[in-house]
Amino acid sequence: MNQPSPHAPASPADGRRADLLSPYELAATGGMEFTTRKIVEGFLLGLHRSPHRGFSAEFAEHRAYQPGDDLRYLDWRMYARSDRFYVKQFEEETNLRAYLLLDISESMRWSSHPELVSKLWYAKQLAAAIGLILVRQGDALGLSVFHDRVVHHMRARGGRRQWHQMLRTLEGLSGGGGTAAADALRQIARRLTRAGLVVLISDLLVDPDETRRLLQFLQHRGHLVLVLHVMDPGERELPTAGEASFKDPETGEEMRVNAADLREAYRTAVDEALHEWLYGLRPHGVDYATVWTDEPFHKGLRLFFQKRGRIG
């Protein structure tokens, strides 16, 4: 697996929003918590709207103002005393039960180039950012991690402790095993007894018919469902010339072919597969999008935020 090594934890020197940086640049800025906070702060600032929703009337504590915070919650008395801006925080109400389903199969460990993060790194970082937005909005956050079976499950709970627990889980994950999303989807279908949100983050090297059927079932049960299909740019098309080696990361089978002969057929097959996912899900109300590991995180976060906004 090609993976950049995060050494010096520092903010981007040029001051650009972290959600607009390439994942490779972000991977060198620091640990997951630091990077996630920078991504979410930049993304929420870019929305030009408050990142905090679902506050109750019960005051809890103050914290230092951060760009993007709702100005309605500035404590002007604290400013008068300290000449610093502080925001009032309140006990969070749980508005929504949300589950993130994360694929950690062996195929997710792959990257096609040393200056690309792996699909697993990208998926974990995306899940952490979505989780932080959820808890900041007062939602209950749950997590199911799977490869060919569910290997870890966190009940949906609200609050910042839940997000930190999720971070510890994500940081300890490494890829392995085959891919089968069905068990995770069935478990979530049993656990979500009222309308909730399900976000599947996977490279979708799964049984497509069974997976689509279960996703459609969740949607028909009244849940909002979003599928974020994580892909490496190297999966778009073959090299222009020479031989290419194809290896199934989950079975170990390998085959060498002439890349030029198969390039057009391969690209057509990829386009058809993506088309089948899109039009096998969207007509049933399931949102689907590809997210590429060389793309900044704002695309996936914006899709999630739009989906989350449909539940009031």
Burial class (CB in 10 A: 0-12, 13-18, 19+), 72: exposed
Q: Given this model, what pLDDT does residue 248 score?
A: 62
Q: Is residue 227 part of a domain?
A: yes
- Residue 193 belongs to a domain with what CATH number? 3.40.50.410
**For 50-58, what is the mean pLDDT?**
40
Q: Is residue 48 part of a domain?
A: no
Q: Given this model, what pLDDT does residue 256 score?
A: 72
pLDDT above 60 for 58: no
**For 171-177, what is the mean pLDDT?**
88
Q: Which of 31, 64, 92 is the last residue of a domain?
A: 92
> Which one is predicted more confidently, 239 or 99?
99
> Which one is predicted more confidently, 160 or 308?
160
Residues 294 and 223 in one domain: yes
Q: Given this model, what pLDDT does residue 33 score?
A: 93
pLDDT above 60 for 95: yes
Q: Given this model, what pLDDT does residue 191 score?
A: 83
Q: Given this model, what pLDDT does residue 247 score?
A: 60
pLDDT above 90 for 164: yes
Residues 239 and 177 in one domain: yes
Residues 126 and 86 in one domain: no
Residues 267 and 249 in one domain: yes
Provide the pLDDT confidence category of residue 56 given band limits of 50, 70 and 90.
very low
Provide the pLDDT confidence category of residue 13 given band limits of 50, 70 and 90.
very low
Residues 163 and 88 in one domain: no
Counting the structural domains of the chain, the total is: 2
> Which one is predicted more confidently, 48 or 36?
36
Share of the chain above pLDDT 70, in %: 79
Q: Given this model, what pLDDT does residue 2 score?
A: 47
Q: Which of 42-46, 63-67, 275-279 has the highest mean pLDDT?
A: 275-279
Q: Is residue 13 part of a domain?
A: no
Q: Given this model, what pLDDT does residue 306 score?
A: 81
pLDDT above 90 for 190: no
Which spans in the chain are helix H?
A: 23-27, 32-47, 76-82, 119-136, 160-171, 182-191, 208-220, 259-281, 298-308
pLDDT above 80 for 198: yes
Q: Given this model, what pLDDT does residue 243 score?
A: 63
Q: Is residue 29 part of a domain?
A: no
Overall size of the chain counted in residues = 312
Residues 190 and 297 in one domain: yes
Q: Which of 92, 107, 139 is the last residue of a domain?
A: 92
**Residue 252: both structure tokens together:** 């170990």
pLDDT above 80 for 250: no
**For 166-195, what is the mean pLDDT?**
88
Residues 77 and 136 in one domain: no
pLDDT above 90 for 291: yes
Residues 87 and 130 in one domain: no
List CB contacts of 221: < 8 A, sequence separation 6 or more.
189, 192
Q: Which of 71, 92, 113 is the last residue of a domain?
A: 92
Residues 61 and 138 in one domain: no
Residues 66 and 130 in one domain: no
| Mean pLDDT for the chain overall | 82
Give the pLDDT confidence of 99-124 residue by residue, as tens digits.
999 999 999 999 989 999 999 999 99
Q: Is residue 26 part of a domain?
A: no
Q: Is residue 203 part of a domain?
A: yes
Q: Is residue 35 part of a domain?
A: no
Q: Which amino acid is at 257?
A: V
**For 58-72, what is the mean pLDDT?**
64
Residues 281 and 252 in one domain: yes
Range of the domain at 66: 55-92
**Phi then psi for 187, rounded to 5 degrees?**
-60, -45
Residues 191 and 80 in one domain: no
CA distance 27 to 1: 14
Helix axes 208-220, 182-191, angle to 10 degrees: 10
Q: Given this model, what pLDDT does residue 93 score?
A: 45
Q: Is residue 168 part of a domain?
A: yes
pLDDT above 60 for 16: yes
Q: Given this model, what pLDDT does residue 155 score?
A: 92
Helix axes 160-171, 32-47, angle to 10 degrees: 130
